[in-house]
Chains A and B, each alone.
Chain A
């Protein structure tokens, strides 16, 4: 008979269940779909950054906006401005890629999704992860996730620029399908950006006395409502930015050429 005194070694043991999980549902579908979707986004992003067809008046592809170097086509430059000058000859998208990319990479939702689907840490709830050791976000490089708020500040700027691009397209070509696609994309990007957990913290989450800051509390309440939709907004804005970018490039290449494109 096994000893059962509190000090007996066996009393300090968990149930010795030898399988990784006893879950009977298809728990692997969600991480698999996430893996495929995020991989598709990364592959598309690499192609788009290297692709030269990023502008056709009045549309600019979101992956290449703002276009800041002299190598940018005249109409594609933000306010006609080229602060980077002519020394920069690489694709213009490479210059700004780190800002929206970093925002998504350090986003609390995307962290969950790629920790689960790429790093399998864990692949799903109550499914054992394959790693022997785990230190989470306590060390470099993952401790750098704490700078998410700085990417949020940059993402606000990017969101404003994409909105400006969309408004400009609407003004110059209100009948164009591309103008509407860029507008929907800008709305989703801005909504995703504002629904960010760092934004929620900055508006008033850091306060302990909401009653002393009624305006900030109101803003926090609004952001909290958006924040509850952070996951769907993350996906919607990811597909919309990919879709809008591809659309502009296809129009620029002449592959899409109907009258109201």
Chain B
């Protein structure tokens, strides 16, 4: 299991453009990708409904996970999107 722990820096949190870009990128992965917030069960990172409902605010930390060959490159891209200001 590969994972990245990042703090969301966007002023709007993981909503609007950051959320849409995050989900579109995750959806390109040929394997399952999840996103979790502390104290909340992981959700499907490829679902805009799940990611918006997770309601990640600026300053909150998330964990992005995948269990597959080649996951590291995708997780690095997703971490970069989620942590961009």
Are A and B subunits of one complex?
no
